[in-house]
Chains A and B, each alone.
Chain A
Amino acid sequence: GAGVSQTPSNKVTEKGKYVELRCDPISGHTALYWYRQSLGQGPEFLIYFQGTGAADDSGLPNDRFFAVRPEGSVSTLKIQRTERGDSAVYLCASSLGGDKNIQYFGAGTRLSVL
């Protein structure tokens, strides 16, 4: 079956612009996570959805970052007024949720803010 799908694979934008990154999880996975990976670092947690609700958004760095998952499947990470420091690979992962917590990762979206 299909794995976690993320689009676009690459996004180049200018400082100050708005971007949306999309994640399509594995069918039937109720839990969805967003992580950010900067160069030379491990992935860092941003936000977790269980179903449609954001159960934990403690990793979002500031209010320019927002994510939604309106129907409990596809999720969109939205970044307003992008800054050069937002440049990173944004990873999405999904799992069956609860203690069945093996997370399956997408290939990521590489965001470059010029």
Chain B
Amino acid sequence: AQRVTQPEKLLSVFKGAPVELKCNYSYSGSPELFWYVQYSRQRLQLLLRHISRESIKGFTADLNKGETSFHLKKPFAQEEDSAMYYCALSGASGTYKYIFGTGTRLKVLA
């Protein structure tokens, strides 16, 4: 079955501390992985795409096919990082629909 698991509903860290939001997936094939972020009262927006291998707002994510994981990391959290984060996967061909995890709320404390 195709599935994305985000085990933490809520993650609280202090400003300046490292952050890791976990994402594991189950997919038969070669999926494309994404992280989307939703700031308060804003729409879902793309944060990272695994094939881009970019660092956005200090966040990085590496696809680990052996562990079927795509964890999101940032070395020093900022208060403005507080938001809802969703991991999603898309098949490499076909409908390209997204399968989302349930999301992790990140709270960065002053």
Contact = CB atoms under 8 A, between A and B. Distances in A.
A101 B102 contact: no
Contact of A43 (B6, B46, B98): B98
A90 interface: no
Contacts of B86: 42-43
Interface string B99-110: 111110000000
B90 interface: yes
Contacts of A91: 44
B64 interface: no
Interface residues of B, number: 24
B43 A33 contact: no
Contacts of A33: 97-98
Nearest to B103: A42
Given A101-B32, A105-B45, A42 B97 contact: no
B49 interface: yes
Contacts of B102: 40-42
A101 B99 CA distance: 13
A43 B96 contact: no
A55 B6 CA distance: 29
A108 B43 CA distance: 8
Given A42-B88, A43-B98, A56-B94, 11 more contacts: A33-B97, A40-B102, A42-B102, A48-B95, A59-B97, A93-B98, A97-B96, A101-B90, A101-B96, A103-B46, A105-B45
19 contacts: A3-B43, A31-B96, A33-B98, A35-B98, A40-B102, A42-B4, A42-B100, A42-B103, A44-B100, A45-B97, A48-B95, A48-B97, A56-B95, A91-B44, A95-B96, A101-B90, A101-B96, A103-B46, A105-B36
